[in-house]
Structure 1
Amino acid sequence: MASSSDQVREHSCFQEWIAQQECDLSELLHYMEAPANSDETSAAREVCLRQLVDKNIRHFQAYSEKRIRLARDDVSPFFSPTWCSIFENSLLWLGGCRPTLLIRLVYALCGLQIESQLDKFLEGIRTGNLGELSARQLSLINDLQGRTIKEEGRLSSCVASLQEKIGDQPIATIVNESSSEFLEPNAKVDEALDEHEQSMVSMLEEADRLRMKTLKELMNILTPLQAVNFLAASKKLHLCVHACGKRRDRFHGRRGK
């Protein structure tokens, strides 16, 4: 059973991540909206953009590593976190977003930006954003999507098997043999549940590795400017869903945190 200090650390980990997301978004938007420096070459600007992308990836990696350390002591809350809204929890896949959501967001942004800037595009004006993905980029993203869907399916099957095992030995036998109305504390049950939780930690680690792998590959396919554009949009989406979910919980009288 998790202690109150475990719960505080888990909640703090997420709150720190939200604060980091807000800070990173502010920096991304500032750089995107800042007028181009006349003394800055195109190559120098790309280097700055790439450094900004790499910093955001490092922040995600650090958050992932920290929560895995916490999950090794108490993993269950990460699959249905009390620090998220009920709406957010309904969207979770193995403790986070589906990696393919990142790819779908790229396609959505591409379509929106093409539509919003069609007049400029027809005039030959290029901005270098996600509305200008090349044929090669689209091919690479499509390939990444196919591989990621396959990995998501594999992990989902593993989790389904893990959930089914909870009714297997030794728990089912102990329940059947128990003379009490309630299952009494039992060393074998605790051992089985401990083993189940360790498997859940492994699933969370694998899911986070897939999320990180997908993000890194996507960032390598996009140009630095497109990558910054995507990161800003993804953080806006995350923060918006979090805020709206919390507001809905308060409206329905749920979880006032």
Structure 2
Amino acid sequence: MYNNNQVQHHQQSLCCYQNWQAQQQLDLDELLQVLTQYPTDIGYLQIIIKKAITHFENYNMVRAHLAKHDGPSFMVPSWGSTFENSFLWIGGCRPSLIIRLVYALCGSQLNAHFDEFLEGVRHGNLGEISSSQLQNIDDLHAKTVREEDKLSSRVASQQEKIADEPLVRLANDYQKRQKVGECSSQGGGRRQVEVVDKVMDAHALDLYDVLIEADKLRLDILKDMIDILTPLQAVELLVAAKKLHLSLHEWSKTRDIRMGVVTQLLNTNIPSSSNGPPSEPCL
């Protein structure tokens, strides 16, 4: 049975995610507008980029607040679709996905404008990455993979610890109690529940720490990439990233519905503001 605090916390977490989805769409609309109407206005491009990054920072802040109460729930969230959750890395996308996306966009845009490029026409987009930019991106990629491996190793260690004492001993005791018909409401059973809760809470806190570091790495790598790119290229990257995120979410939700999977994401009519972090009740 779930108590009222658990239900409220789940609703807040769901609300936070839905607000973030809505914020992503608002940001995408604004990025597309500046990309089509003001592609040469460097100052305006930088303002819109900073705004999008601020929204990401706000989202991470709210996530950190909510996840502190139950870190494991954010590792594979119940409010995510099954397909999305199958690709999660420590509660979100791999930071290296940003770099792979840049590589893919460079190739596709170069192919799309190859004839113009040969004729000397320049657009200043991701298809025109300079050699120095490419070297910096390659260096960032190597750094990112190293940091991902460190965090992946920490998660693996946490997963292995589940077989350590005292959980194995408690599991054996539990099976013995089941055989003799001793219910958990009895004194020994209650004490065992308290010990198990204490051990699992410690594991949950460790997972929370890794989740926060993973969220920080995702944001840091995005910022590092934006520093490498020109403002126009950075806006193109943000547009592509948000399109991918939103499209994958919708495709996955549709797939779940088609396959008869009931998810928590069917009701997405929660308003969001483009001027700050998600509103109550997420905080």
Instruction: Sort the TM-score into its range (normalised by shorter chain).
Output: over 0.9
Alignment pair present for 1:172 and 2:171: no
Equivalent in the alignment of 1:8: 11
CA distance in 2, matches of 1:79, 1:168: 21
Equivalent in the alignment of 2:117: 121
| Residue aligned with 1:167, SS | coil
CA distance in 1, matches of 2:59, 2:135: 31
Q: What is the alpha-carbon root mean square deviation over aligned residues?
A: 1.5
Alignment counterpart, residue 34 of structure 2, candidates 12, 31, 34: 31
Deviation at 1:24, TM superposition (A): 0.3
CA distance in 2, matches of 1:25, 1:174: 50
Deviation at 1:51, TM superposition (A): 1.3
Alignment counterpart, residue 239 of structure 1, candidates 238, 246, 269: 246
Equivalent in the alignment of 2:44: 48
Alignment pair present for 1:87 and 2:80: no
Q: Are 2:38 and 2:44, in contact at CA under 8 Å, matched by a contact in 1?
A: no
Mean alpha-carbon deviation: is it higher for 47-56 or for 110-119? 47-56
Counterpart of 1:102 in structure 2: which amino acid?
I
CA distance in 2, matches of 1:51, 1:35: 12
Deviation at 1:35, TM superposition (A): 5.8
CA distance in 2, matches of 1:153, 1:74: 24
Alignment counterpart, residue 66 of structure 1, candidates 62, 65, 71: 62
Q: Which of structures 1 and 2 has the larger relative contact order (alpha carbons within 8 angstroms, sep 6+)? A: 2
Equivalent in the alignment of 2:142: 146
Equivalent in the alignment of 1:104: 100
Q: Write out the 4+ residue segments of structure 1 that deviate beyond 4 Å after TM superposition.
A: 182-185
Deviation at 1:169, TM superposition (A): 1.3
User: Which runs of 5 or more structure 2 residues have no equivalent in the other structure?
Assistant: 267-283
**TM-score, length-scaled by structure 1:** 0.94
Deviations 1:147-190 (Å, cap 9, x if unpaired)?
A: 00001001000000001111111111122234223885522211
